[in-house]
A and B are shown apart, each in its own frame.
Chain A
């Protein structure tokens, strides 16, 4: 068939042009709305304030999925960056506008041993109703869902130890957790 399109010896030239190349522009009629529920379990060392993430689970609804391995990877990466925001990363300027965290000596990036193995699931799929593939998108989900999950878990841990702590701003670093525990 394809050869006939470019060697149109036997071809319906009165009906269609030779060649086989098409372009489409697609403008969506709505946003897509991925959603999900995340859970995290942390251990807080009450002596040092250090937070360790013990378990992390993500149940996402991305609609239909083309390549589940790539989706897993996107979620893993997003959660990693979300944990980075929750526990480690902080861009700080001093009062003169000098960047205090101008290198990795002071700007803490998440490393492999800062994150746990993740349990991710995207079997709850409600396909998007307005695009032809029924897909929603998965690139940012982990980075959106993870930070709050971690902070909520840290607060729960502190409350379980009798510390009346309602909130700690990110990054929930050891020193901030310790300060919060001191009241």
Chain B
């Protein structure tokens, strides 16, 4: 292992030096000459028809450069959705338009109605308050069940209802599942809620658009987990800017948790406005604004049934879930309750029959999308809660019931379309019982009870699908993107290495861990390896960081590129030492000829 840390070393994070000394370079730290500021006037009603917007008074206020409304974006594309779910009848989901600024209607509190660009943030905000918006308030749909009632107010007038899709998974399993539940010795039923959450990254979202009139190049600096995805979505679908004329930079980003995967209206706005005004335009969200404009998480209501035979073996699981989409489809919203949730409903258990039904619903609330775990916590919560309830109903130990039903042979093909390649659930449970000191619990409970407190022990198993994702598979499932990853390994003349990765670090510590991998492979110090990410002008087209994919997919790309480097370097070394390539060995950063004392160092 390299002296300063290779694979397996608990190396301290090199990026923390700048984060802890206040020298990080976050998007809001970037300021450009001539920069103007935008403030978004956002809807304060959840549902309403815009009858008029009078900007005359506001436009005359000090510092105001220009006020934009939905009318300015009529020729501009809709913010796209990156995943199309096909429903249980073979029909595509209902997919509403999502304008950059509201057109005709507002659909949630926080929906942007107008954007004031001014010389200062305060002037933009002052002027926004002077805009007179005439809104006819409409009844809002908030509750998902009510949203599906006949005659419920429609969030999108041009859709047939508030139902985005009615998805069955696996639809072919349905009859077998129904039959298995009918014939089961015991069925445990549970209705539960995975409540809506706000992602709350420490750094609120920021977007800064810049335009170079001489070259006709646009640049967007943004708090994104995946700058290439933003470049593709915004360039190709919203603004019509080809990739070679559009650069997206995501510098240091202070946490994402999923909420910074998605392409947001504010990003398109600042890019559009910078070109329209020929000035850089910056937006910095306040915390209050984040609460009403960042995509939110979870918000599922579920009924789950677990059927067991007379020996307490799981025989079937059937679920019915309502999943809230909010007012518009955020970038990956349709995939979360379906392919990131239904595919995980087997959990760690060999349940032969599983059927999942999900109805996705539009409501007059902030859009919902992936939040840390994205669909998998929702699945795990259902399975593991219903197992606990079943154990109690049957009078058996919840750990024993789990152990009895664990998948123990791999690979294991689940009834919900995925194949687990490896795992050892017995081993992790054994380890857990040891580290949790389960044997000592009774004494701890007695001590708590002595103090008048009730003490409880809870256990839970989980499995998740990470390393997102095999492109061909997710393409069949509705993904409109490939989910590979990229890396370029650039060896400099004196031996230092620059790695350009398509993964993006916003708290994960890639600058440290990715360098450890390359250093280990070559046998050089990790401090000779620099990791570059977050800039479409520097990094090959990559898909970014979410779904615990960076090392599994981005790291693998980096390993492949490093292998290519080593193969070529071996040829060079063989030439330098006038030896056969087959005799060249690489160890500790040194090439040597097997069986001789000839060697050549990696760098100078």
Contacts and interface: CB of A to CB of B under 8 A. Distances in A.
B438 A39 contact: yes
Given A99-B292, A139-B508, A144-B376, A24 B458 contact: no
Given A35-B425, A61-B424, A140 B444 contact: no
B493 A167 contact: no
A183 interface: no
B26 interface: no
Given A140-B376, A143-B373, A66 B553 contact: no
Contacts of B298: 85
B8 interface: yes
A130 B431 contact: no
Contacts of A26: 484-487, 553-554, 556-557, 560
Interface in A70-87: 70, 73-74, 77-78, 81-82, 84-85
B486 A38 contact: no
**Central interface residue in A59, A97, A166, by most chain B CB within 10 Å:** A97
Interface stretch (B123-131, B266-274, B565-573): B565-573
Contacts, number: 465
B465 A33 contact: yes
B559 A170 contact: no
B571 A153 contact: no
B551 A66 contact: yes
A58 to B, nearest CB: 8
Interface string B73-109: 0000000000000000000000000000000000011
Contacts of A21: 488-491, 565
B576 interface: yes
Contact of B454 (A25, A59, A160, A170): A160
A45 interface: yes
A68 B366 CA distance: 37
A94 B142 CA distance: 8
A15 interface: yes
A170 B194 contact: yes
Interface string B496-538: 0000000000011100110011000000000000000000000
Contact of B576 (A1, A119, A136): A1
Contact of B109 (A12, A97, A109): A97
Contacts of A167: 190-192, 385, 389
Given A96-B140, A133-B556, A157-B455, A103 B365 contact: no
Contacts of A55: 436
Given A16-B568, A20-B569, A148 B380 contact: yes
Contacts of A117: none
Given A61-B428, A140-B548, A12 B575 contact: yes
Given A60-B428, A78-B372, A69 B364 contact: no
B464 interface: yes
Nearest to A65: B8
B470 A29 contact: yes
A22 interface: yes
B421 interface: yes
A144 B377 contact: yes
A24 B427 contact: no
B457 A135 contact: no
B576 A4 contact: yes
B12 interface: yes
A134 to B, nearest CB: 9
Nearest to B575: A12
Given A144-B464, A154-B458, A70 B572 contact: no
A171 B196 CA distance: 10
**Central interface residue in B110, B456, B488, B512, by most chain A CB within 10 Å:** B456
B421 A128 contact: yes
Given A32-B467, A61-B428, A93-B142, A152 B385 contact: yes
Contact of B575 (A11, A129, A138, A166): A11
Given A67-B11, A157-B455, A97 B488 contact: no
B516 A66 contact: yes
Interface in B436-470: 436, 438, 441, 444-445, 448, 452-470
A174 interface: no
A143 B435 CA distance: 20
B428 A89 contact: no
Contact of B458 (A10, A11, A153): A153
**Central interface residue in A33, A98, A104, by most chain B CB within 10 Å:** A33
Contact of A16 (B143, B348, B509, B572): B572
A119 B434 CA distance: 11
B556 A141 contact: no
Contact of B288 (A102, A119, A121): A102
Interface in B414-430: 418-425, 427-429
B267 to A, nearest CB: 22
A104 B540 CA distance: 40
Given A66-B8, A140-B374, A157 B553 contact: no
B162 to A, nearest CB: 13
B495 interface: yes
A5 B513 contact: no
Given A97-B109, A137-B467, 12 more contacts: A4-B576, A27-B484, A29-B470, A32-B552, A33-B464, A40-B460, A43-B453, A85-B298, A89-B198, A96-B142, A131-B552, A140-B464
19 contacts: A2-B495, A16-B572, A20-B565, A21-B489, A24-B557, A31-B467, A33-B463, A37-B461, A54-B455, A67-B8, A82-B377, A93-B365, A96-B142, A103-B287, A107-B198, A140-B464, A159-B392, A159-B456, A167-B385
Interface of A: 1-7, 10-12, 15-16, 20-47, 54-55, 57-61, 63-70, 73-74, 77-78, 81-82, 84-85, 89-99, 101-104, 107, 109, 119, 121, 123-124, 126-133, 135-141, 143-145, 147-161, 166-167, 169-171
8 residue pairs, one from A and one from B, having the closest CB atoms: A97-B46, A157-B456, A153-B458, A137-B548, A152-B458, A156-B456, A137-B466, A24-B560
